[in-house]
Amino acid sequence: MLSLVLFAAAAPEFLEPETLDMEAPEVRDREGDPVVGGADTAASRWPGVAAVFLGREVGCTGTLIAPRVVLTAAHCAADITGVALGASDLGGLRAEYRALRVVSHPRWARTYDVALVILDRDATEEPAVIAQDCVTEEAVQAGAPVDIVGYGAVDKWGNQYLGQLQAGRTSIIDPECTALERGCAEEVSPGGELSAGGGGVDACFGDSGGPIYVQRQGRRYLAGVTSRAFDDARLPCSEGGIYVRADAVIDWIEAEAGIDLPAPVCTEAAQEEEPALTTLNYEVGLCGIRDGSAGLLFLGLGAGLATRRRRMLA
């Protein structure tokens, strides 16, 4: 298991632009067990996925939701310095965009484990559209398929890193996250979070803040943000976990970032004009996160991070 350090969501001390020529994160070799519940994937399939730098190393994952805004986990926020977008391989990766400002959701450890990274310039990748309205009604339901994407560990113990963007397909367990005994946040339940994964398909250390996607009529939407493992999980990764629902924090995002986020197009005619996405099939998947201690266990890639009961997947 990764070494853990207590980590508070505070405004990071940013590097000057000339120092953002960051060293590549340490990447483990490809020997060992196959990916748990997922597989290597091309970044072109997930253009808005962000490699989030904590200091000089990639430590979390995020999602571009506006040209200058990345959504990630609040338990990653204290050390965020920048992000890279559109990367399949972490080898030699450098931060493309500097983090001008990082804003964590108020009382995030008890409410919404999310943070915004405001970038120094517009990104060229296409931002993700947050699932809401017709998409949540149809696709954010118990048993619905979801795709988990991130740069994290790939084995059930959270020890093996391939340095590759990984994607795994699993399903939603509880779209409202009502199981308080398993770690759902009481202050925002029901409806502020969802639970998903298990059976060997899950997020893990290094996937924290990364996306969980749903599809409706050939289009992909951001349904959640990777937060933590279930309180009763027996393994560090693979048994499923808890995600902040992206639609639950739309108003907060728009207020903090000063933007208007696009909504899904819910008319049938408009949907038919959109190109269909290729359905991805996985034989193996991402690994999961676990908390089991008195606090939230959050999983970080570069340096394992821990706070409270939540798990950090970075």
- Identify the residue with better confidence: 312 or 168: 168
* Most confident of the ranges 17-21, 41-45, 72-76, 268-272: 72-76
pLDDT of 2 strictly over 70: no
pLDDT per position as a tens digit, 150-184: 999 999 999 888 889 999 999 999 999 999 999 99
Please give the pLDDT value at position 202: 94
Mean pLDDT of the chain: 78
pLDDT per position as a tens digit, 186-212: 999 999 999 999 999 999 999 999 999
45 band by pLDDT with thresholds 50, 70 and 90: confident
- Identify the residue with better confidence: 9 or 101: 101
Please give the pLDDT value at position 40: 57
The pair of three-digit structure tokens given for residue 160, joined into one six-digit string: 């093996």
Nearest to 209 by CA among 90, 11, 9, 63: 63
Task: Kindly report the pTM of this predicted structure.
Answer: 0.78
Mean of pLDDT values over 122-150: 97
Mean of pLDDT values over 78-82: 96
pLDDT per position as a tens digit, 86-122: 899 999 999 999 999 999 999 999 999 999 999 999 9
pLDDT of 296 strictly over 70: no
Mean of pLDDT values over 259-287: 57
267 band by pLDDT with thresholds 50, 70 and 90: confident
pLDDT per position as a tens digit, 62-72: 999 999 999 99
pLDDT of 308 strictly over 90: no
268 band by pLDDT with thresholds 50, 70 and 90: low
